Amino acid sequence: ESPPVIQAPPPPATLSGRDIIGIAQTGSGKTLAFVWPMLVHLMDQRELEKGDGPIGLILAPTRELAEQIYHEAHRFMKPFGAKVVAVFGGAGKWEMASALKRGAEVVVATPGRLMELLRKNATNLRRCTMVVLDEADRMFEMGFEYQMRSIIDQIRPDRQTLLFSATLKRRIQGLANAILRDPIRVTVGKLGQSSEDVTQDVVVLVGNREKWSWLKNQLPGFLKTGKVLVFVSSKSGCEELALNLRKFMEPEVASLIDFIHGDLDQGSRYTSLTAFRNGSKQVLVATDVAARGLDISGITTVVNFDVAKNIEQHVHRIGRTGRMGVDGVTPGRAYTLCVHSDNDLACNLVINLEMSKQVVPKELVKLAKTSQRWSKINGVRHKSNGQRDQSGRAGATFAPPKALQASSSAESWQAGLPPGVMAAFQNKPAVASASASSSSSSSSEDPAKAALEAVARLNAKMGASTGASAGASAGASAGASRGEELSKPKKRSRWGR
């Protein structure tokens, strides 16, 4: 009935020639937001001549996303006679270079392979007047910043640039300031917010063995509703989990399991994705190579077997379900399995669930509170014992000793000291006890001397040697004489020093 929010403002603004920054959650239909305006832009340009490069350029971070954008662009531009070429790693360079030399109005490419073909003069960017950076934050994470800037520098300065991303970090903002001219910013929802059409469930478990048991028991039920995408954090763990599922699951379920990760060659990755798309495989175990931009229909369940490395990656993972379709958004469900070592990400998960209007489990909050980030995220200062400071004083992070919190405790603490010590430090006459009545009157009159004599008597009671007692007495005499010297007022010089 009506286009998604991200598809409504960009086309009019793009058709007017303005630069665009589009920030929207994954699965919201960003691809068509730049394919349609690019098609209209192409129709207004003169036809390509021999030796001309593309008019429109679309950069994407991964091969799979570049291929997906290529198919969408080709579907819309073929009826108008516009040619589209896909350029990405893992496929034959000669075929791609030949297609570029024959001429193409639109090139969809990954930054690394495009730079390689530009160095070999397979094409040029002299005719390029419209550039799209899709999933720009992901390209930064993959280390393509240098290639992106180098490619942009080869394009005419009066170009039109569109930047689309699900998040907008400081580095992305710096790139936008450098390559965009007075852009219009379109933001759908809050930055870092997950889609509200995806129901999230966070399961807190004891360890990795419990995660395996949970997935093995729940997988048959997930398959009754649709396709299942399982994310793991490492390439070796991806293959290991897929092979174990094939080995220990029932035969009818084991035959539906496949895997994909970055170390597979392009042919194997294409075969796995094709089988998952057409439904011959219903379960795909993947690393984050499948977390960005891939639009595969029929995925109803996403399982984060290993948590993502950050909350932005988590948003992209669960965005593989609950995506925009022909009949609108199809709701999906995402499960995240957490263990005790995932307490840092648990803090961000709590905020993400609240922003997305999801239920926050008590076990997740309890796990998040064990992280040092919890106090920073919630803006609460904590004491060393993990309790909230109730003193109400700014900067008071440590409580006073319990012995000083009550007057009765303070009195008992002082009573344990030798006679005369507290009086000496308080500069009051020492109160001699019954055991100290035999001490000389001169020592009780001088507070410093009384304190030193009290310490000497304490050492004698603890079994100190006679020599130590004599040394203490000598020290007491020296201290007394020193005290007398200190008590005399010093003469000040004429300069007041």
Homologous superfamily of domain range 11-187: P-loop containing nucleotide triphosphate hydrolases (3.40.50.300)
- DSSP secondary structure letter of residue 434: G
Greatest mean pLDDT among 12-26, 27-41, 269-283, 374-388: 269-283
Q: Is the dihedral of CA 155, 73, 282, 92 positive or negative?
A: negative
> With 80 as the cut, is the pLDDT of residue 2 above it?
no
pLDDT, position 434: 40
CA 320 to CA 261: how far, in whole Å? 16
Q: Which CATH superfamily is domain 199-374 in?
A: P-loop containing nucleotide triphosphate hydrolases (3.40.50.300)
- Residue 44's contacts (CB-CB under 8 Å, 6 or more residues apart) are none
Helix axis angle, 466-487 to 447-461, nearest 10°:
170
452 pairs with which residues across the strands? none
**390-to-378, 380, 381, 384 alpha-carbon distances in Å:** 16, 11, 10, 13
Residues 6+ apart with CB under 8 A from 463: none
Q: What is the mean pLDDT of residues 441-466?
A: 59
pTM of the model: 0.62
Q: Which pLDDT belongs to residue 232?
A: 94
- The answer to whether domain 11-187 and domain 199-374 are alike in fold is yes
By the 10 Å C-beta count (0-12 exposed, 13-18 middle, 19+ buried), 449 is classed as buried
In this structure, the dihedral spanned by the alpha carbons of residues 335, 339, 342 and 345, taken in order and rounded to 10 degrees, is 30
Quote the tokens at residue 387.
């309790």
Q: Is 60 exceeded by the pLDDT of residue 44?
A: yes
What pLDDT is attached to residue 107? Answer: 97
413: number of Cβ within 10 Å: 14
pLDDT tens digits for range 125-184: 999 999 999 988 888 888 888 999 999 999 999 999 999 887 777 888 888 888 999 898
- Chain-centre distance for alpha carbon 168: 13
Nearest CA to 346 among 203, 166, 470? 203
Within a 10 A sphere around the Cβ of 186, how many other Cβ atoms? 20
DSSP assigned state of 342 = G
**From 176-180, 395-399, 437-441, the region with the lowest mean pLDDT:** 395-399
Amino acid at 233: S
Distance between CA atoms of residues 323 and 300, nearest Å: 10
Q: Read off the pLDDT of residues 191-208 as tens digits, 9 standing for 90 and up.
A: 556 666 788 999 999 888
**389 to each of 365, 398, 403, how far by Cα in Å?**
20, 8, 18
Q: Based on C-alpha coordinates, what's the Rg of the chain?
A: 37
Q: What per-residue confidence (pLDDT) applies to 5?
A: 56
* Domain spans, the chain: 11-187, 199-374
Provide the β-strand partners of residue 332: 198
Which tokens sit at 130? 């419209």
Longest dimension (CA), the chain: 117
Tens-digit pLDDT profile for residues 5-32: 556 655 677 888 899 988 876 656 678 8
What does the pLDDT read at residue 116? 93
Instruction: Read off the amino acid at residue 313.
Output: Q
What pLDDT does residue 11 have?
66
What DSSP state is assigned to residue 47?
A: P
The pLDDT assigned to 195 comes to: 67
Nearest-CA neighbor of 123 among 137, 113, 131, 135?
A: 113
